[in-house]
Structure 1
Amino acid sequence: MRGGFKRIRKNSIPRYGRRSLNKRSAPYRTDTGSTDNRHSDAHPKISRTQHMRRQSPPDSQMAITKSTTKMDRFLSCDWGTSSFRLRLVDADSLRVIAEEKSSTGIAETFQQWQQTASSREQFYAAVINRHVAAMETQLNISLAKIPVILSGMASSSIGMKELPYKTLPFQLDGSDLSVQTAGNMIIISGATTGQDVMRGEETKIVGCAALLPDTHREQLLILPGTHAKHVTIRGGQAKDFRTFMTGEFFELLSARSVLTASVKGDGNFNEQASRRAFEAGVEAGGSVNLLHAAFLVRTNDVLKKMPPQENYFYLSGLLIGAELREAQAGAPVYLAGGPQHLPLYTAACETLHIAVEGRIDADEALVRGQHIVWTHLQR
């Protein structure tokens, strides 16, 4: 990759197919910047953005140039701390044509780069290009010059290029997000309230907001994950958000604490006993001090009240319930997540009598959000 990154601001994007270099599946998984998601049984999705001024870049910098030729495809890159996903997307339908996955996340890539004499941008671009080449081989086509839109940890201090956070509020149309380009690569940065931060979710928020019937009334968008986000939307802007370490706490308690021997993740949430255990956990998490309630997972096992498989869902419900108690008295709720999280969060909301107005697929929201940002850049 030649040239430096140029700071810009704008919005728009498409959708995909699949292939995996290294398949992994877990309850909470680190993906995006977006943010981690490691507990296969817990989390949801939605969003939007502000006005972008285009400044003339120095000659040494490269910018996305306007073209009279319409680009009908783009590459969507979701680069998380411990995962990498690249999707070829049709720009009109947002259909995903092909997908490459690997566990070569930003953290590992950063460590590898530190052992070389290469520039950081060139090294990271080479990682991306290897996945692009694999996709070209898979499809037997050339993907030269197709835009690559990156979100997640690519803009972090250990990413391809560290970019400043956009301070809230930001426009839900993505028009004022912090964006930089170099050649055909476009990096979308994260957002901050001044006390809290996100990288990756801001793009999902833009994609979610495009699907909402009304972005002017106050609403709460919940995006589950290792670090779940509760985003307040009002007046066409993302006004505020809070981060909850739900997924990370589940990982720590279930795999690295005295509770480890009391839970087993090979149960089925659709079984009645598992569902009852989950609901009991949600109720406890929504009303009992979490530090006390967490030890009940141990006593459930020791006193033979629950088998480890049910206790697993009790712990999951306990943490999700503690998170959602913050959403019990407030604005209408939308959930944005994947199939491993939406059923759990939906059930938890039902248990706590939280009305959910809609559910959005987080992966689709990410692609849509990237497309929106890309479209802004073309104007």
Structure 2
Amino acid sequence: MGAARLIALDWGSTRLRAFLLGDGGEVLATRQSGDGAATLSGAEAYARALAALVGDWRAERPGVKLLACGMVGSQYGWREAPYVRCPADAAALAARVLPLDERFSIVPGLVDDAARPDVMRGEETQIVGALALHPELADDAVLVLPGTHAKWARVQGGRVTGFATHMTGELFALLRQHSVLNRLMPADGSSPASPEAFLQGVAAAAEEGGLGHQLFAVRTLGLFQRLASEQLPDYLSGLLIGHEITRELRAAAPRIALVGDPALCARYARALAHLGRPAPLQLDNTAPAGLWRLAHTMDPTRC
């Protein structure tokens, strides 16, 4: 294993992911735990979770710094790191990093301070990483980060100029588990994939009619057996993702990149193709690359 230069932490709501990074941001080792920010309360709990996962890394490498992004810096995190306003780039984020001590700092989130403010924590670092890995995106692109709360970020001239959040993943879970739509779906929550039903939902989203009306059709299509019970979850997914994409494509740049879980990004890519968009660039978790770029921006001599 090469010499470690940074301990990078992607500390989200549900999971804590740690990356030991070497020269140039090379990932030397990875670890993860279920100690996400949503499961912790108070500084002592965060400190214990960190020690349990990477305490030995820190002890063996006393000169290596830690940099964390995500919900660890939220109002309910270890300590709140104030938001940076858009437009913002890596330099603007690095300038507002919050130090907890001499070795450990937290990346701030981003706020799009419009009439209805929008915020992100963690995704800003993934965007920095995506631009570091693919500089061609910096000129003019839309970066889509699917998830519980999907983000659509516009990048121009290397800066995030604005973004929009869609609660697509959370809406799917709520409707799938706790609404009237659940009654005709498989009770155990596991259904074989139905790409055809998913694309039917995507196509329906592009038609006239509000989302509320179209959601009720998830029930009636099952009621009249136009879709099988096991197809309904995929139809619902396609409908929600389709509405998200249809709304955002009105102002989308020609170049689109998907960043995040490969399976979820592939689902968005199928929906984009069905709606006539070119195949987007697909990237896995770019947080390690983003944390490395931010650490290097803060102190080039150490990274």
Alignment TM-score, normalising by the size of structure 1: 0.71
Identity of aligned residues (%): 31
Identify unmatched segments of 5+ residues in structure 1.
1-15, 17-69, 114-119
1:300 to 201, 221, 238: 221
The answer on 1:337 being equivalent to 2:269 is no
SS at match of 1:298: helix
CA displacement, residues 135-189 of structure 1 (integer Å, 9 cap, x when unaligned):
65xxxx9244432211101111111111210000002xx1111202212112001
Residue aligning to 2:191: 267
SS at match of 1:230: strand
In structure 1, what is the Cα distance between the partners aligned to 2:63 and 2:33? 21
The answer on 1:125 being equivalent to 2:47 is yes
In structure 2, what is the Cα distance between the partners aligned to 1:84 and 1:144? 21
1:159 to 71, 77, 86: 77
The answer on 1:277 being equivalent to 2:180 is no
CA displacement, residues 288-326 of structure 1 (integer Å, 9 cap, x when unaligned):
321011111111221112222211110010000000002
CA contact (8 A) 2:9 2:67 kept: yes
CA displacement, residues 340-376 of structure 1 (integer Å, 9 cap, x when unaligned):
2012001100111122341111x2x110000011111
In structure 1, what is the Cα distance between the partners aligned to 2:263 and 2:138? 30
Residue aligning to 2:230: 309
RMSD: 2.2
SS at match of 1:159: coil
Structure 1 segment 1-379 matched on structure 2, within 5 A: 72-92=4-24, 94-102=26-34, 104-110=35-41, 113=42, 120=43, 122-133=44-55, 142-171=60-89, 174-177=90-93, 178-181=96-99, 182-194=101-113, 195-264=117-186, 265-269=189-193, 274-287=194-207, 288-329=209-250, 330-331=252-253, 332-361=255-284, 363=285, 365-379=286-300
SS at match of 1:207: helix
- Matched to 2:170, the amino acid is E
- Matched to 1:81, the amino acid is S
Q: CA separation of 1:73/1:217 partners in 2, compared to 1, >3 Å: closer, same or farther? A: closer
Q: CA separation of 1:158/1:71 partners in 2, compared to 1, >3 Å: closer, same or farther? A: farther
1:276, distance to aligned residue in structure 2 (A): 0.9
The one of the two structures with greater contact order (alpha-carbon pairs below 8 A, sep at least 6) is 1
Please identify runs of 4+ aligned residues in structure 1 that moved more than 6 A: none
In structure 2, what is the Cα distance between the partners aligned to 1:199 and 1:325? 25
CA contact (8 A) 1:91 1:371 kept: no
SS at match of 1:85: strand
- Matched to 1:275, the amino acid is P
Alignment TM-score, normalising by the size of structure 2: 0.88
CA contact (8 A) 2:241 2:271 kept: yes
In structure 2, what is the Cα distance between the partners aligned to 1:318 and 1:251? 13
Q: CA separation of 1:263/1:91 partners in 2, compared to 1, >3 Å: closer, same or farther? A: farther
1:219, distance to aligned residue in structure 2 (A): 1.4
CA contact (8 A) 2:4 2:28 kept: no
- Matched to 2:205, the amino acid is G
CA displacement, residues 231-264 of structure 1 (integer Å, 9 cap, x when unaligned):
0111221101000010010011001111112234
1:215, distance to aligned residue in structure 2 (A): 4.2
CA contact (8 A) 1:328 1:352 kept: no
In structure 2, what is the Cα distance between the partners aligned to 1:82 and 1:357? 28
1:72, distance to aligned residue in structure 2 (A): 2.9
- Matched to 1:295, the amino acid is F
CA contact (8 A) 1:72 1:92 kept: no
Which structure shows the higher helix fraction?
2
Q: CA separation of 1:350/1:340 partners in 2, compared to 1, >3 Å: closer, same or farther? A: same
- Matched to 1:303, the amino acid is F
In structure 2, what is the Cα distance between the partners aligned to 1:89 and 1:263? 45
- How many residues align? The count is 289
In structure 1, what is the Cα distance between the partners aligned to 2:206 and 2:159? 29
